[in-house]
Structure 1
Amino acid sequence: MMLFLIELWESVRDFMNTGGVVLNWLALVLFIMWVLMIERYMYVTSAFPKLVKDIVANWDAREDTTSWYAHRIREAWISQANEKLNARMQLIKTLVAVCPLMGLLGTVTGMVHVFEIMANTGTGNPRLMASGISMATIPTMAGMVAALSGVFFSSRLEAKVKVASHRLVDSMPHH
């Protein structure tokens, strides 16, 4: 097991080194994106239902649920709960959108590296240019994979947020 982990770490390290410094920045963005998505998922599945329960209990405990004032209180509670529910969702979407752009930045920096090699050694040495081409293609692939994983999970998360929001509204009837 330990040998497997060592080999895995060495493979990841070699991959990161081949992709250049942009890949390190992409890994940081990917890590932050996934931490935020996991945090939001945990909130939607565990903390938000407790908040809904408290809000519904407060609503049901009210004597007045039909007046204009009661409707404004209901709207305010729903709005506050939705604000908490949607917290950091825009940041997650932004980080998902940044991933392929960072991959393209890696492409540009890799191609600059290839052109520097060509300028210094001429066009006759494909081995020297191969490292620059790897530096150009690996971040692009990594950025696309990161974005695809983020798009899938964030869209599922967004659907869960919408369902939770609708459930809150439905559980607070106004007469």
Structure 2
Amino acid sequence: MLYLMGLWETIRDFLSTGGDVLYFVMGALFLMWVLMIERFWFLTAVFPKMKKNIIANWDSRKDTTSWYAHRIREAWISEAADKLNARMLLIKTTIAMCPLIGLLGTVTGMITVFETMATQGTGNPRLMADGISMATIPTMAGMVAALSGMFFATRLESQVKRARDKLIDSLPHH
């Protein structure tokens, strides 16, 4: 419990050093990871059952060679691909937003530095340093959030493509 309290204090200090924009970076990061975890769960727990059901439906058809059968096959593959690709665009969007939110933090931090310089002059280096850290920490946090998401989103995208291709291979069209 003491470890968690210390961890919370560290996070709180980091958030206060970087300014309020870090809460938005944290929110985007949380949303991105919830979406990616849901997609990994879908790929490992839900899609295999769906795939098995589609294959069973295809194998139970008497007609798999006619034009109509091929359209039905294409429709099933398309539905499965839509479900596989669901929320992938939102994941990519949150990844792209993280550095932009960090840049917003840079701008607000620099405004703080300029306000300090205007009101206190350049004689107080401590106040200027606080503003500069408020300008750089959100940028760093946004970039780290985006990099962590890019690696896993690329992996997730390749797994989605592989799952779709395996489904197509599992539905022979004679």
1:103 aligned residue: 102
Q: Which residues in structure 2 correspond to 1:45-60 (within 5 Å)?
A: 45-60=44-59
Q: Give 1:130 shift.
A: 1.1
Give distance in 1, aligned partners of 2:44 and 2:164: 12
- State the SS of the aligned residue for 2:157: helix
Give distance in 2, aligned partners of 1:45 and 1:82: 15
1:142 aligned residue: 141
User: Match of 1:23, as an amino acid?
Assistant: L
User: Match of 1:69, as an amino acid?
Assistant: Y
Structure 2 unaligned segments of length 5 or more: list them. none
Q: Give 1:3 shift.
A: 1.6
Spell out, residue by residue over 1:8-40, the C-alpha distance to the aligned partner (whole angstroms, 9 max, x if none). 110000101111111001100100000000000
1:169 aligned residue: 168
2:90 aligned residue: 91
User: Match of 1:64, as an amino acid?
Assistant: D
Structure 1 unaligned segments of length 5 or more: list them. none
Question: After TM superposition, where is structure 1 displaced by more than 4 Å over at least 4 residues in a row?
Answer: none
Q: Give 1:117 shift.
A: 0.3
TM-score normalised by L of structure 1:
0.98
Identical amino acids, percent of aligned pairs: 70
TM-score normalised by L of structure 2:
0.99
1:159 aligned residue: 158
Q: Give 1:73 shift.
A: 0.2
Q: Which residues in structure 2 correspond to 1:1-175 (within 5 Å)?
A: 2-175=1-174
Give distance in 1, aligned partners of 2:11 and 2:86: 33
Give distance in 1, aligned partners of 2:151 and 2:66: 43
- State the SS of the aligned residue for 1:46: helix
Root mean square deviation of aligned Cα: 0.5
Give distance in 2, aligned partners of 1:49 and 1:3: 42
Task: State the number of aligned residues.
Answer: 174
